[in-house]
A and B are shown apart, each in its own frame.
Chain A
Amino acid sequence: QQQVKQSPQSLIVQKGGISIINCAYENTAFDYFPWYQQFPGKGPALLIAIRPDVSEKKEGRFTISFNKSAKQFSLHIMDSQPGDSATYFCAAYVGRGAQKLVFGQGTRLTINP
């Protein structure tokens, strides 16, 4: 019930295309859903996050879509650029207290020029 399942494992998108990464969770107590971007040899960096009372959040080219009834959320990267090539992790946690982040398995995104 603590798992967050992420797909696909790897994704190749042409420059200018839309990259879509999906995640699903079981624990309905989760109330905060961040996405992290990680470049090789670096720690993850927070990209964008959403709470379950919102169905969509957009920041620049990055959009999170959230479906509470289906317990699914996804990251859309519009106009994907080679600089977006990285590993992306979805995550979830319960906001109250110092709760553990539960990570998805990660998606290695490659944007071809």
Chain B
Amino acid sequence: GAVVSQHPSRVICKSGTSVKIECRSLDFQATTMFWYRQFPKQSLMLMATSNEGSKATYEQGVEKDKFLINHASLTLSTLTVTSAHPEDSSFYICSARAQFNYGYTFGSGTRLTVV
């Protein structure tokens, strides 16, 4: 089945630094990947849609300069949280859909803590 690998699973960084999160589709090519943010006891909030070879599409209210998304290949998308602050602490999850396949597969998530 379709597998999405997300790394790291946990990261702690100092305020003001940047953190990169990787999302890889292991056994399929994903022209589109999605990045979500999830606060405790809440649903997933879509941050942006990552398109291979083109700019990401950000949801309303998401700062594109703070959350940099790069989708350089059909199997890799990265989310970089720039100049991180404690309020950026959250659970970040990526997902992708294999071509011609209706199911969306999610990564295991990244717990970001900014101290």
Contacts and interface: CB of A to CB of B under 8 A. Distances in A.
Interface stretch (A14-22, A55-63, A68-76, A102-110): A102-110
Q: Provide the main secondary structure of the chain B interface.
A: strand
8 contacts: A34-B103, A36-B106, A46-B104, A101-B34, A101-B46, A101-B95, A101-B104, A106-B42
A89 interface: yes
Interface of A: 32, 34, 36, 41-46, 49, 89, 93, 95, 98, 100-101, 103-106, 108
A104 B43 contact: yes
B95 A98 contact: no
Contact of B34 (A41, A45, A100): A100
Contacts of B93: 43-44
Closest 7 CB pairs of A and B: A98-B32, A43-B106, A43-B109, A43-B108, A43-B93, A103-B43, A44-B106
B35 to A, nearest CB: 11
Interface string B76-115: 0000000000000001010101000011111111010000
Interface residues of B, number: 24
A103 B103 CA distance: 14
B18 interface: no
Interface of B: 4, 6, 31-32, 34, 41-44, 46, 49, 91, 93, 95, 97, 102-109, 111
